[in-house]
Structure 1
Amino acid sequence: MNVLVINPGNTSTKVAYWEDEKEVWREEISYDVETLKRFPSILDQMEMRLQNIKGLLQVHQVEKIDCVMGRGGLFKPLEGGTYRVNDKMVADIKSGNMRAEHISNIGALLALEIAREYNAEAFIVDPVSVDEFDEVARISGIPELEREALQHTLNIKRTARKACEQINKEFNKANYLVAHLGSGISICPIRGGRIVD
Structure 2
Amino acid sequence: MNNYTFLIINPGSTSTKISIFENDIETMTETIRHSSEKINSYKEIYDQFDFRKDLIMDVLKNKNIDLSTFTAIIARGGNMKPVVGGTYEVNEEMLNDLKIGVMGQHASNLGGGLAYSIASELGLKAYVVDPVVVDEFEPLARISGTPLIPRKSKDHPLNQRAVAREAAKEMGGKYDDFNFIIAHLGGGISVGTHKRGRMIDVNNALDGDGPMSPERCGAIPFGGVIDLCYSGEYTKKELRKKLVGCGGLVGYLGTNDAREVIKRIKEGDEYSKLIYEAMAYQISKEIGASSAVLKGDVDAILLTGGLAYDSILMDWIKDRVEFIAPVKVFPGEHEMKALACGVLRVLDNKEKLQMYPNK
Instruction: Report the CA distance between 1:188 and its aligned residue.
Output: 0.7
Which residue number in structure 2 is paired with residue 39 of structure 1? 42
Which residue number in structure 2 is paired with residue 20 of structure 1? 23
Counterpart of 1:53 (choices 36, 52, 56) is 56
- Pair 1:196 & 2:200 matched: yes
Contact 1:42 1:102 in 2 (8 A): yes
Contact 1:173 1:193 in 2 (8 A): yes
Partner of 1:196, secondary structure, is strand
Counterpart of 1:183 (choices 171, 182, 187) is 187
The 3 A distance-change label for structure 1 pair 141 and 92 is closer
TM-score w.r.t. the length of structure 1 is 0.93
Note the aligned Cα RMSD (angstroms): 1.4
Which residue number in structure 2 is paired with residue 121 of structure 1? 125
Contact 1:65 1:115 in 2 (8 A): no
Percent identity reads 39
Instruction: Report the CA distance between 1:127 and its aligned residue.
Output: 0.8
Distance in 2, Cα, partners of 1:143 & 1:24: 49
More helix by share: 2
TM-score w.r.t. the length of structure 2 is 0.53
Larger gyration radius, structure 1 or structure 2: 2
Instruction: Report the CA distance between 1:30 and its aligned residue.
Output: 1.4
Instruction: Report the CA distance between 1:61 and its aligned residue.
Output: 2.0
Which residue number in structure 2 is paired with residue 98 of structure 1? 102
Instruction: Report the CA distance between 1:119 and its aligned residue.
Output: 2.0
After superposition, the C-alpha distances for 1:82-134 in whole angstroms (9 at most, x for unaligned) are 1111111122233x151111111111001011212322210111111111011
Instruction: Report the CA distance between 1:78 and its aligned residue.
Output: 0.6
Which residue number in structure 1 is paired with residue 86 of structure 2? 81
Distance in 2, Cα, partners of 1:121 & 1:168: 34
Counterpart of 1:7 (choices 7, 10, 19) is 10
The 3 A distance-change label for structure 1 pair 135 and 116 is same
Contact 2:81 2:97 in 1 (8 A): no
Partner of 2:145, secondary structure, is strand
Instruction: Report the CA distance between 1:143 and its aligned residue.
Output: 4.1
Amino acid at match of 2:11: P
Contact 2:101 2:109 in 1 (8 A): no
Structure 2, unaligned runs of 5 or more: 202-359
Instruction: Report the CA distance between 1:41 and its aligned residue.
Output: 0.8
Moved over 6 A (4+): none
Instruction: Report the CA distance between 1:176 and its aligned residue.
Output: 1.2
Structure 1, unaligned runs of 5 or more: none
Partner of 1:145, secondary structure, is coil
Amino acid at match of 1:165: K
Partner of 2:127, secondary structure, is strand
More strand by share: 1
Contact 1:71 1:125 in 2 (8 A): yes
